[in-house]
Amino acid sequence: MRLCVCVDDVGLHPGIQDAALRLVHAGRVHALGCMVGAPAWAAAAAALRRLDAAEVDVGLHLDLTECPLPPWPARALPALMLDAGLGRIDHAALRAAIGAQLDAFEAGLGRAPAFVDGHQHVHQLPQVRDALVAELVDRQAQGARPWLRATRHVDAGLRPSLKARLIEALGAGGLARLATAQGLPQNARLLGVYDFRGGAAVYQRLLLRWLRAARSGDLLMCHAGLGPTDALQAAREAEYEVWQAPATTAALRANAIVLEPMSRILARAPRLP
């Protein structure tokens, strides 16, 4: 069974980059989502250029809320969700904002992103998904064909499943229809959703459940970090601790899980449900 683990928010703080790269070198992480408008992006890009693109999917973590590139303004997620749901976002401005982040990624890494997802899952919102897919389709002539993060939830008797259902309801179905129509691949389901509380002991129990529930083609998102980062510092450090732990090695082996880049998994099974 083949699973991909992705660290989100690379570029936001040096401690996130540090944890992500340590987990990459430990063979635990095979995808990194990057925020190109964030304060630590330049330093992160320099380090990421040294990674083997065949072994690690480096992608754009599209950010329209926290550290977007100007002139797109940072804004609260609820306000963005409301405007997107009511169709009040200017399409040209949105296309320009998405294009600018794709350009910044390519300038930093020297190549197109292996995938695109969204900070706070904004990539699947109405209007945003339309503009994103249109921009990616226009760039396909340059050979870029990234996979898009699907947020279909996993029912595994998990206590925080309501949050996973809410994330999926933000637009997973609409994005899936667009991606299918344009031949853009997606992961099967999304694991790793929880409320960021409870420390390492709670996260380890959740991780064991996610690994037991996983199927080939699923993506497990991670928010690992080390040292001072942001309001999620305690959760980031707990996640890093658990992913480095021998118990996680044993759990992967017990569930016959092989960790790989999602692009490689999708290449073997391009029509995952």
The domain spans of the chain are 2-268
Q: Quick check: pTM over 0.85?
A: yes
Which helix or strand (DSSP H or E) is residue 60 part of? Answer: strand 57-62
* pLDDT attached to residue 161: 74
Asked if 40 and 14 count as a contact pair (C-beta separation under 8 A), the reply is: yes
Asked if 114 and 263 count as a contact pair (C-beta separation under 8 A), the reply is: yes
Question: At CA 137, angle to CA 133 and CA 139, rounded to 5?
Answer: 120
Q: How many whole angstroms separate alpha carbon 202 and alpha carbon 238?
A: 9
DSSP, collapsed to helix, strand or coil, labels residue 219 as strand
Neighbours of 34 (CB within 10 A): 29
Tokens 């945003």, located at residue: 128
* pLDDT attached to residue 141: 63
**Superfamily the domain 2-268 falls into:** Glycoside hydrolase/deacetylase (3.20.20.370)
Q: How many whole angstroms separate alpha carbon 171 and alpha carbon 176?
A: 9
List the pLDDT tens digit at each of the 273 positions of the chain.
999 999 999 999 999 999 999 999 999 999 999 999 999 999 999 999 999 999 999 999 999 999 999 999 999 999 999 999 999 999 999 999 999 999 999 999 999 999 999 999 999 999 999 999 999 999 986 667 899 999 999 876 555 478 999 999 999 999 999 999 999 999 999 999 999 999 999 999 999 999 999 999 999 999 999 999 899 999 999 999 999 999 999 999 999 999 999 999 999 875 544
Q: Give how far the C-alpha of residue 267 lies from the chain's centroid of Cα atoms, to the nearest Å.
A: 19
Report the interhelical angle of 246-254 vs 233-244 (nearest 10°): 60
